[in-house]
Every structure is written in structure tokens, then in C-alpha cells.
Amino acid sequence: MAAGDFESRWLAPDVNAVWTRFLHVTHRLEHRIDRRLQEHHGITHTQYEILVRLADSDERALRMSDLADRIVTAKSAVTYQVNKLTDLGLVERQKCDTDNRGVWVKLTAAGSERLEQAAPCILSLVRGLFLDAINCDQAAELDKLLGIWSDNLDEVDRDPDGRLAPEHG
């Protein structure tokens, strides 16, 4: 088997190591944040992310689908979690005047408060684990990489099985 042949079906060992490590680290990060959040603040990482996205938005409200896009889950999962958060009083649904199908999910005062309680704890964790390790240049570099990956994902979303663009065509 030719070297190029090998390369085309498998990954070079070092590159493979980076990928494996990437998966491993992202999973561990996710896991650790989730655990900290649940133990100290009684909410899931998903729920926390919903609160954050809402707080970051104009009017502190977002549409269900918009939320689903931002936290990258199925719509049904958003319905499920918004129900939970509503029960907790951290979030409320409001009718959408311009679209009768639509629902605005809005952060309540209690939700805002809960977020402000939880955020420092999580942000210090994220800083300690993730951000303190990189300087400005590296952050910029990483951001650039993330941008490219994101664009690539957009492209794959348009053409999930890569039929349209066969090898640099």
C-alpha cells in the first residue's frame, strides 16, 4: 500500500493524536462544568446555557428555534428544558404578536438572579481550566480556527454527505 493511500484512508499518527485529545478534553470540560453547576447551583449545563443565551439577547428573550440553534440541540429538547425552567420560575413564555405559532422565552427576574449567582462560579472554572492557558495571540488564533470550523460545518450542513463538492472540485 502506498503512503498516500494510507494517508487518504487514515490519519497520520500525530494528527490523529490531536483529534483524539480534542475529543477527550472537550468531553472532560463539559463533564466538569456540568458537575460543578449541578452540585453548587442545582441546574444543568444546558439550563445554564439557556439562561446565558437569554441574558445575552435583546429584551432578554428568544424564540424557541433560535434557542435550539444556539445551544445546538433538538427542538424537542428545548421544549423539555423550557418547561423545566418555567416550573422553576426562571423563565416564562410569551405570545409572539407577529407570528401566532411563535413563542418568546423570556428570562424572569428570578432567572436573572439565579444566573448572576451561578455565573461567577462557572466563569472562574472556565477561566481556570480554559482561558488562563491562552494569551491574546493564542485566543485570536483559536478564534480564527473556530471560525473556519464553523464555516466548514455550515457547508456540511448544506451538503451533509459531500456529494456536491467532490475533492476540491
Partner DNA sequence: CGCAGCTGGTTCAATTTCGAACAACCTTAT
Partner DNA sequence: ATAAGGTTGTTCGAAATTGAACCAGCTGCG
Let me know how long the chain is.
169
> Rule CB under 8 A: is residue 21 a binding residue for its own copies?
yes
8-state DSSP, 58: G
Query: Which residues, 76 to 115, sit near its own copies by CB under 8 A?
Result: none
Instruction: State in angstroms the smallest separation of the CB of 72 from its own copies.
Output: 4
- Over its C-alpha atoms, the chain yields an Rg (Å, rounded) of 20
* One of 99, 113, 145, 163 touching its own copies (CB under 8 A): 145
140 burial (CB, 10 Å; 0-12 / 13-18 / 19+) is exposed
Q: Which partner from the list its own copies, DNA, none does 100 bind, CB cut-off 5 to 8 Å by kind?
A: DNA
* One of 1, 2, 3, 74 touching DNA (CB under 7 A): 74
What is the distance between the alpha carbons of residues 13 and 34, in angstroms, rounded to a whole number? 32
What is the distance between the alpha carbons of residues 145 and 105, in angstroms, rounded to a whole number? 32
| Residues that bind its own copies in the complex, under the rule CB under 8 A | 9-11, 14-15, 17-19, 21-32, 35-36, 49, 70-73, 119-120, 123-131, 133-134, 138-139, 141-143, 145-150, 152-153, 156-157, 160-162
